[in-house]
């Protein structure tokens, strides 16, 4: 894993690199084609082909302190040319980190949510990943029960979908949002998020941020007749976005987003109560970097508290 300047994570991890999506603004392809580091040992013209790097798999398992990790920042885990077996290997490490109590949070971003949905919902993915988790040192609760001293308190097995994996899709404009976000919302994931980077136009997220609705709640010792009841409680629908990131295009000929586009996205998120993070590369110093201000995003999801939601 490498430390990174990407301001919503602490590290990147690239056990798979390369992508065939062909976005004209792709920063990762420019970097790979320059031939820096390990890319320099690859033939020109093949540096950005999908490639599996088994030697990088164990990096999160060797990091002691909790990290917030962008997975495959130099490619797309669900891209064309990436096999399910490679994905099992990568998720097996992320799952082992959850199962072994490492505090890492893994952020996955894809432009192919239809492939993420296919992979995450097919029958054997969970069991294949579980096998890889065991190969990475995670032992199931049943196994631990056999060797644990009497009276030990043991964690439950990690749940599926993995509780420490946030699944997102990147959308550059309204058309991409309309195509990709509904597919993302049909995919099992602990947290679902969208990266509006590079933002190339105004985006209305309303359909996928709403509805919030209210339910009544009563104090435990109240029969519901006191004058303070009912207490409204905001309830988030499972099938909506949990987090929004906004960023700008960089590099030669970059399109600068208009401030009004970004302000409108912040307004939409604020009204829906959904956290939004504005990357520094937007270049609008007067805009809030994140909403809610000063509230850390939930990075310490406990694998054993069953935060996962089914899509």
Give residues in contact with ligand SF4 (CB under 6 A).
19, 21-23, 26, 28-29, 75-76, 111
Q: How far apart are CA 229 and CA 259, in angstroms?
A: 43
| Nearer CB in complex with ligand SF4: 214/250 | 250
SS3 at position 166: strand
* CA 71 to the chain's CA centroid: 8
| Nearer CB in complex with ligand SF4: 72/120 | 72
Provide, rounded to whole angstroms, the least separation between the CB of residue 21 and ligand SF4.
4
| Nearer CB in complex with ligand SF4: 90/301 | 90
| Nearer CB in complex with ligand SF4: 127/250 | 250
Provide, rounded to whole angstroms, the least separation between the CB of residue 83 and ligand SF4.
17
CA distances 220 to 215, 217, 224, 236, 259, Å, are 15, 9, 10, 22, 47
Provide, rounded to whole angstroms, the least separation between the CB of residue 24 and ligand SF4.
9
| Nearer CB in complex with ligand SF4: 22/151 | 22
Answer yes or no: are the C-beta atoms of 205 and 244 closer than 8 Å. Answer: yes
Question: E strands, the chain, where?
Answer: 2-3, 11-13, 16-17, 51-52, 68-71, 105-110, 165-170, 191-196, 212-217, 231-236, 243-246, 276-278, 290-291
Q: How far apart are CA 190 and CA 181, in angstroms?
A: 15
Answer yes or no: are the C-beta atoms of 273 and 234 closer than 8 Å. Answer: yes
| Nearer CB in complex with ligand SF4: 163/257 | 257
Residues facing residue 191 across a β-bridge = 166
| Nearer CB in complex with ligand SF4: 111/192 | 111
Provide, rounded to whole angstroms, the least separation between the CB of residue 29 and ligand SF4.
5
Query: Could you give the angle at which helices 125-135 and 113-121 cross, rounded to 10 degrees?
Result: 80
Provide, rounded to whole angstroms, the least separation between the CB of residue 33 and ligand SF4.
11
| Nearer CB in complex with ligand SF4: 97/246 | 246
Provide, rounded to whole angstroms, the least separation between the CB of residue 195 and ligand SF4.
10
Q: How far apart are CA 101 and CA 154, in angstroms?
A: 11
Provide, rounded to whole angstroms, the least separation between the CB of residue 6 and ligand SF4.
13
CA distances 216 to 139, 204, 223, 231, Å, are 41, 30, 13, 5
Provide, rounded to whole angstroms, the least separation between the CB of residue 125 and ligand SF4.
22
Residue 212: which residues within 8 A CB-CB, separation 6 or more?
A: 234, 235, 236, 237, 272, 273
Q: How far apart are CA 190 and CA 160, in angstroms?
A: 9
């Amino acid at each position: 894993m490498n430390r990174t300047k990407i301001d919503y994570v602490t590290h990147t991890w690239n056990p798979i690199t390369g992508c065939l999506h062909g976005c004209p603004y792709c920063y990762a392809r420019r970097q790979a084609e320059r031939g820096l580091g390990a890319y320099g040992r690859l033939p020109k013209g093949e540096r950005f082909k999908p490639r599996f790097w088994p030697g990088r798999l164990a990096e999160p398992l060797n990091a002691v302190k909790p990290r917030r990790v962008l997975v495959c920042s130099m490619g797309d885990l669900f891209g064309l040319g990436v096999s399910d077996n490679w994905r099992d290997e990568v998720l097996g490490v992320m799952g082992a980190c959850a199962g072994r109590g490492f505090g890492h949070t893994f952020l996955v971003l894809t432009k192919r949510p239809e492939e993420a949905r296919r992979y995450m919902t097919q029958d054997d993915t969970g069991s294949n990943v579980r096998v890889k988790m065991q190969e990475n040192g995670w032992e199931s609760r049943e196994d631990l029960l056999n060797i644990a001293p009497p009276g030990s308190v043991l964690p439950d097995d990690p749940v599926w979908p993995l509780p420490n994996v946030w699944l997102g899709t990147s959308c550059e404009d309204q058309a991409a949002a309309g195509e990709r976000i509904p597919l993302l919302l049909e995919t099992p994931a602990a947290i679902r998020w969208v990266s509006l980077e590079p933002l190339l136009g105004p985006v209305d997220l309303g359909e996928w941020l709403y509805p919030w609705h209210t339910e009544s709640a009563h104090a435990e010792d109240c029969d519901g007749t006191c004058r303070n009841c009912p207490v409204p409680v905001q309830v988030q629908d499972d099938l909506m976005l949990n987090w929004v990131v906004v960023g700008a295009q960089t590099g030669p000929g970059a399109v600068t987003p208009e401030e009004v586009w970004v302000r409108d996205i912040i307004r939409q998120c604020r009204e829906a109560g959904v956290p939004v993070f504005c990357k520094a590369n937007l270049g609008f110093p007067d805009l809030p970097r994140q909403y809610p201000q000063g509230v850390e995003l939930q990075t310490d999801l406990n694998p054993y508290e069953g935060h996962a939601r089914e899509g």
